A and B are shown apart, each in its own frame.
Chain A
């Protein structure tokens, strides 16, 4: 369904943006994004492979892509990219999370180097800090978020912790350990902060739930349970909150049909609805590829249905564009964004049409 209505919410599919590409117009294993109006920064993990050149032996496509997604289908523009694979300043091995901080800079986490690097929006490297202690444990900084005070939070998927840093990178607090009780985690991944009250939400990946904390780490509540039925979670990856307090959970939902969903919950954790991906038309850039390949065009006309390409495939991020009241889903394995309008002005058509 392109338009879904449930409990007073309307999610109206708009369009998709992107295609697979190791550089330029498209994405390569995207893992996170930051949304600023129509500008979207997409963090690409890239992929491993073998190159016969020694200076890029391990990865292709790791970078930050900068695009303007415009208002409607076909508006999108590629405006630049920066960063590359490596372990020097401004480089990344396993880029994992990205936010646009209150200071207007981009913060990028790396879950192999375990650093948070700061870039200006034009890609200039500003600084970085080690985000994991040297305590003998294995660490992996999985995702980051910031609160209304500019503090930075990160999940550590390997030590099963959340850490809170000052805007300058000073460690303020940490909480969590391996387990499935209140405040415990099993490979926490996505994290977000509700800017309304600085509540912290964590996608507790291998516990198949979302946990909510105060900004100081006091446990508040959890929601979601393991399963593949309506509203149940399977490997939640990312969580975000919109200005109305609705909570969106990007999930890998391995039910054999749709390897990804975005579940919507209200602020009390009650399930509202799930989105499964609705990209019935190719994005502008994807269509460029198809139009340039006669065999692609022919084969696409031979298939019984294109439905398998409409759906999400292992989404890795979900963000809400407050200015345009739209939900942006990073549909990772399809190398694209799927965009839904959250509409307050929707008029339900006559029911007996």
Chain B
């Protein structure tokens, strides 16, 4: 099998998923690139994770409290073990766009329900998803729409709907914000039983017609007695929405862009790519699967290898999937779920409605050390099935010189592309131990130890931080 096929498949699986083992890459490459894209876009062909398998061993994940580290455990388990990687990746994408945090909502269970919505509809129709988000109790509380009344308008939801969730700054006016907000008056939630003392209860949407401003509104040039769903229809038909979602998708799947607030002043890196994706959005009637199909099959995607920094969730989940052995939810899941937090991404708790700033903003001295320590710790365990498989493959090649050892390790860890200077440094380090040999048990033990050390060096490279 051509190494380029494997490299391209590895690229696809890093972006449309969380990476893949060499065995999976070989299977997928044999099936073909387009076929793999279609399988990813149609996740129902693969079995879903059974939530009860987790609840059976970790009953606290059913409706977790708000103790830090609790809430994202279920999601981490889903991301690590799913056979539908793009489904979880899209949930992560929408969590970044419709960023809603437990810091204010104070209900991990409600934000987890929102993630379940992303899982269910994240590759469906954007308009339908946006309408569900407008009715989502966690979002209604997060952006204060429960305080948006016919006689006292609160513009928080209306503003963020336009600024961060659909069109982007500069494509609408303050009057549009006001009118959109009026249209969403009366969109609230039912009072629900308090969380204590016997556990949590579902929060449900409520529409109160008596609290809705049914008067005439003019929004983006159209006039009528608009309600919230009318506003969403108008938004979804506006070309700015197609461009805005296209840029979000490009930033998440293709290459790091400027931070979202700067999009009004900094043009896209690849305007033709954004235009292509936006056209697909419009032509398909905001069908996200159609847009993603165009994206993954495009040359600009295929040529964008290692063009974006991994988010902490990608680092953690990708590493867990690479080393393997996390299919059974052993004790310590809560601590594992905290790892992205230590690297700067507290899942279910974004820093603001703007979501996390991405790209180089993921990296600082503290978060980089966390990334390296976590990944080095994981790949150092030669009993993990993923690491075992790499060692077995290298052993099957027979004795290895230092340069072939380094090349094999880089290949099996990606294939990871590094510059000549980095490769030379790795080979120099490897040369200190001579050739890898497998003649005796002592040789095998020593070779496994040296491979483990080489893998730890590789995950500490700058290159490994990119997807």
Residues of A within 8 A of B (CB): 18-20, 26, 29, 31, 45-50, 57-60, 93-94, 111-112, 138, 157-158, 187, 189, 205, 235, 252, 254, 282, 285-286, 289-290, 293, 295-296, 299-300, 302-304, 306, 308-309, 313-314, 316, 332-336
Is A20 touching B199 in the complex (CB atoms < 8 A)?
A: yes
Return the chain A residue nearest B330 by Cβ. Answer: A112
Interface residue? B62 (CB, 8 A): yes
Q: Could you tell me the distance in whole angstroms from the C-beta of B299 to the nearest C-beta in chain A? A: 45
Is B201 touching A58 in the complex (CB atoms < 8 A)?
A: no
* Known A58-B332, A304-B191; 4 more pairs at CB < 8 Å: A18-B198, A48-B334, A60-B67, A289-B196
A selection of 23 A-B contacts at a CB cut-off of 8 Å is A19-B197, A20-B198, A20-B199, A26-B197, A47-B70, A48-B335, A49-B70, A58-B332, A58-B334, A93-B331, A157-B56, A189-B56, A205-B56, A235-B56, A293-B196, A296-B196, A299-B191, A300-B193, A306-B193, A309-B193, A313-B199, A314-B59, A316-B59
Is B191 touching A302 in the complex (CB atoms < 8 A)?
A: yes
Interface residue? B278 (CB, 8 A): no
B252-278 vs A, Cβ < 8 Å mask (1 yes, 0 no): 000000000000000000000000000
Is B62 touching A48 in the complex (CB atoms < 8 A)?
A: no
Chain B, interface residues (CB within 8 Å), range: 35 or more
Is B193 touching A303 in the complex (CB atoms < 8 A)?
A: yes
> A29-B59, A282-B198, A299-B193 in contact; A252/B52 too (CB < 8 A)?
yes
Is B199 touching A112 in the complex (CB atoms < 8 A)?
A: no
Cα distance A62–B261 when bound, in Å?
46
Which residues of chain B have C-beta atoms less than 8 A from A286's C-beta? 197-198
Return the chain B residue nearest A157 by Cβ. Answer: B56
Return the chain A residue nearest B55 by Cβ. Answer: A314
Which residues of chain A have C-beta atoms less than 8 A from B60's C-beta? 29, 45-48
Is B198 touching A19 in the complex (CB atoms < 8 A)?
A: yes
Return the chain A residue nearest B201 by Cβ. Answer: A308
Question: A50's contact among B57, B64, B334, by CB below 8 Å, is which?
Answer: B334
Q: Could you tell me the distance in whole angstroms from the C-beta of B433 to the nearest C-beta in chain A? A: 33
What 8 pairs between A and B have smallest CB-CB spacing? A48-B334, A47-B60, A289-B197, A302-B191, A19-B197, A50-B69, A49-B67, A286-B197
Question: B59's contact among A31, A49, A187, by CB below 8 Å, is which?
Answer: A31
Is B198 touching A58 in the complex (CB atoms < 8 A)?
A: no
Return the chain B residue nearest A187 by Cβ. Answer: B56
> A57-B335, A58-B332 in contact; A336/B59 too (CB < 8 A)?
no
Is B190 touching A304 in the complex (CB atoms < 8 A)?
A: yes
Interface residue? B338 (CB, 8 A): yes
Residues of B within 8 A of A (CB): 52, 55-60, 62-65, 67-70, 73, 190-194, 196-199, 201-202, 328, 330-335, 338
Return the chain A residue nearest B338 by Cβ. Answer: A50
Q: Could you tell me the distance in whole angstroms from the C-beta of A252 to the nearest C-beta in chain B? A: 7
Is A333 touching B199 in the complex (CB atoms < 8 A)?
A: yes
Is A48 touching B331 in the complex (CB atoms < 8 A)?
A: yes
Which residues of chain B have C-beta atoms less than 8 A from A26's C-beta? 197
> A49-B68, A93-B331, A332-B59 in contact; A295/B198 too (CB < 8 A)?
no
Is A308 touching B202 in the complex (CB atoms < 8 A)?
A: yes
Taking each of B60, B62, B333, which has the highest tally of chain A beta carbons within 10 Å of its own beta carbon?
Answer: B60
Taking each of A47, A300, A303, A335, which has the highest tally of chain B beta carbons within 10 Å of its own beta carbon?
Answer: A47
Which residues of chain B have C-beta atoms less than 8 A from A18's C-beta? 198
Q: Could you tell me the distance in whole angstroms from the C-beta of A99 to the nearest C-beta in chain B? A: 20
Q: Could you tell me the distance in whole angstroms from the C-beta of B204 to the nearest C-beta in chain A? A: 10
Is B331 touching A50 in the complex (CB atoms < 8 A)?
A: no
Cα distance A59–B58 when bound, in Å?
11
Q: Could you tell me the distance in whole angstroms from the C-beta of A44 to the nearest C-beta in chain B? A: 10
Which residues of chain B have C-beta atoms less than 8 A from A296's C-beta? 194, 196-197
Is A300 touching B194 in the complex (CB atoms < 8 A)?
A: yes
Cα distance A26–B444 when bound, in Å?
54
Is B69 touching A314 in the complex (CB atoms < 8 A)?
A: no
Is A334 touching B335 in the complex (CB atoms < 8 A)?
A: no
Is A303 touching B192 in the complex (CB atoms < 8 A)?
A: yes
Q: Could you tell me the distance in whole angstroms from the C-beta of B340 to the nearest C-beta in chain A? A: 13
Cα distance A112–B332 when bound, in Å?
12
Is B334 touching A49 in the complex (CB atoms < 8 A)?
A: yes
Return the chain A residue nearest B200 by Cβ. Answer: A333
Return the chain B residue nearest A112 by Cβ. Answer: B331
Cα distance A313–B59 when bound, in Å?
11
Is B68 touching A50 in the complex (CB atoms < 8 A)?
A: yes
Q: Could you tell me the distance in whole angstroms from the C-beta of A40 to the nearest C-beta in chain B? A: 17
Is B191 touching A47 in the complex (CB atoms < 8 A)?
A: no
Return the chain A residue nearest B198 by Cβ. Answer: A334
Which residues of chain B have C-beta atoms less than 8 A from A235's C-beta? 52, 56
Which residues of chain A have C-beta atoms less than 8 A from B335's C-beta? 48, 50, 57-58
> A29-B60, A58-B331, A138-B328 in contact; A336/B194 too (CB < 8 A)?
no
Return the chain B residue nearest A57 by Cβ. Answer: B335
Which residues of chain B have C-beta atoms less than 8 A from A285's C-beta? 197
Which residues of chain A have C-beta atoms less than 8 A from B334's C-beta? 48-50, 58
Which residues of chain A have C-beta atoms less than 8 A from B58's C-beta? 48
Taking each of B52, B68, B73, which has the highest tally of chain A beta carbons within 10 Å of its own beta carbon?
Answer: B52
Return the chain B residue nearest A31 by Cβ. Answer: B59
Return the chain A residue nearest B65 by Cβ. Answer: A47
Which residues of chain A have C-beta atoms less than 8 A from B199's C-beta? 20, 313, 333-335
Cα distance A5–B330 when bound, in Å?
43
Which residues of chain B have C-beta atoms less than 8 A from A50's C-beta? 67-69, 334-335, 338
Q: Could you tell me the distance in whole angstroms from the C-beta of A142 to the nearest C-beta in chain B? A: 9
Which residues of chain B have C-beta atoms less than 8 A from A336's C-beta? 198
Cα distance A309–B201 when bound, in Å?
8
Taking each of A47, A48, A158, A299, which has the highest tally of chain B beta carbons within 10 Å of its own beta carbon?
Answer: A48
Return the chain B residue nearest A288 by Cβ. Answer: B197
Q: Could you tell me the distance in whole angstroms from the C-beta of B162 to the nearest C-beta in chain A? A: 32
Which residues of chain A have C-beta atoms less than 8 A from B338's C-beta? 50
